[in-house]
């Protein structure tokens, strides 16, 4: 791999993409379209950073991030896809899944958290479930964030020593390091079973996370219908009264300025 993209160059490329993402969400709101983006990949691939890059400049009432934890005992008895259905978008919404129903084809399969029957049923049902979503008008995008073992190990080491990133390392993440080849086989089986014309997989090189984010966002924007919507300029009315310092009364405790 060539030199990693510098932070300044990355930010210069990201800014216009985020402007286009804003146009995309205006188009979703204007047309009532619904969009789902799934981000899957090995541990440390860069799913969280990519979601942040997409969502940070967007309306939080319109864009939702879904990162479900371990299913409850009740959820374990439900139809597998049932816990994901309530998180699907309504009209005008974009939902970003930080891992998704494909947990069953990856970590649950490799770590033995599901039975062989449950695994086979998932591979059969996932394309059918996604066909229903697409047929109902949902724009569905599935991305696999690909990272070589060398770079994954570097990121594991960074997380282990960085107190701001250490929370990202779970016991499952640590144990998964011994199953690198198993995860690769499970990924390939997942692709073979669930890559369909109505819901294809797209693999993005994330050895350089900054380049990966830019390429993923660019691909997403390029594969959405023309999202141009007439923009009404905002005309601010004149401020009444004279500008002054904010004053307040009541039982409030101001915080002392320290910076």
Expressed as residue numbers, the domain containing 132 is 7-222
Q: Whole-model pTM above 0.75? A: yes
Asked whether residue 88 is assigned to any structural domain, the reply reads: yes
Smallest Cα–Cα separation from 201: which of 42, 38, 49, 46?
Answer: 38
For residue 161, how many other CB atoms are within 10 A of its CB? 8
SS3 44: coil
How far, in Å, CA of 61 to CA of 257, rounded?
Answer: 31
Q: Is residue 240, in this structure, part of any structural domain at all?
A: no
Would you give the DSSP letter of residue 87?
G
Question: pLDDT tens digits for the chain (259 residues)?
Answer: 568 999 999 999 999 999 999 999 999 999 999 999 999 999 889 999 999 999 999 999 999 999 999 999 999 999 999 999 999 999 999 999 999 999 999 999 999 999 999 999 999 999 999 999 999 999 999 999 999 988 888 877 777 888 877 777 777 777 777 788 999 999 999 999 999 999 999 999 999 999 999 999 999 999 997 767 877 788 888 878 777 787 788 888 888 899 9
Amino acid 102: pLDDT? 98
- 65 contacts 98 by C-beta, under 8 angstroms: yes
Of 96, 108, 16, nearest to 49 by C-alpha is: 96
Q: Which CATH number covers residue 77? A: 3.40.50.300
Instruction: Give the Cα-Cα-Cα angle 30, 34, 38 (nearest 5 degrees).
Output: 140
- Domain assignment present for 60: yes
Confidence at residue 1, expressed as pLDDT on a 0 to 100 scale: 52
241 belongs to a structural domain: no
Q: What is the pLDDT of residue 2?
A: 63
As for how many domains the chain has, the answer is: 1
What sign does the CA torsion over 234, 239, 244, 248 have?
negative
DSSP code for 4:
P
């Amino acid at each position: 791999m060539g030199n990693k993209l510098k932070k300044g160059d990355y930010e210069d490329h990201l800014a216009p993409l985020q402007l286009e993402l804003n146009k995309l969400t205006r188009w979703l709101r204007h047309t009532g379209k619904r969009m789902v983006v799934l981000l899957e990949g090995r541990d440390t691939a860069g799913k969280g950073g990519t979601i942040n890059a997409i969502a940070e400049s967007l309306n939080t009432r319109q864009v939702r991030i879904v990162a479900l934890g371990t299913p409850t005992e009740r959820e374990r008895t439900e139809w597998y896809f049932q816990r994901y259905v309530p998180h699907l978008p309504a009209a005008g919404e974009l939902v970003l899944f930080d891992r998704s129903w494909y947990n069953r084809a990856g970590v649950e399969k490799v770590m033995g958290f599901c039975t062989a029957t449950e695994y086979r049923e998932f591979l059969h049902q996932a394309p059918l479930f996604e066909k229903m979503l697409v047929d109902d008008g949902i724009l569905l995008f599935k991305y696999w964030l690909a990272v070589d073992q060398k770079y994954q190990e570097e990121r594991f080491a960074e997380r282990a020593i960085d107190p701001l990133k250490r929370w990202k390392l779970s016991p499952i993440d640590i144990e998964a390091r011994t199953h690198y080849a198993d995860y690769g086989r499970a990924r390939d089986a997942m692709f073979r079973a669930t890559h369909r014309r109505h819901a294809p997989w797209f693999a993005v090189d994330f050895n350089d996370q900054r380049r990966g984010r830019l390429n993923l966002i660019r691909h997403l924007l390029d594969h959405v219908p023309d999202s141009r919507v007439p923009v009404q300029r905002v005309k601010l009315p004149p401020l009444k009264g004279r500008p002054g310092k904010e004053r307040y009364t009541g039982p409030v405790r101001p915080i002392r300025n320290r910076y």
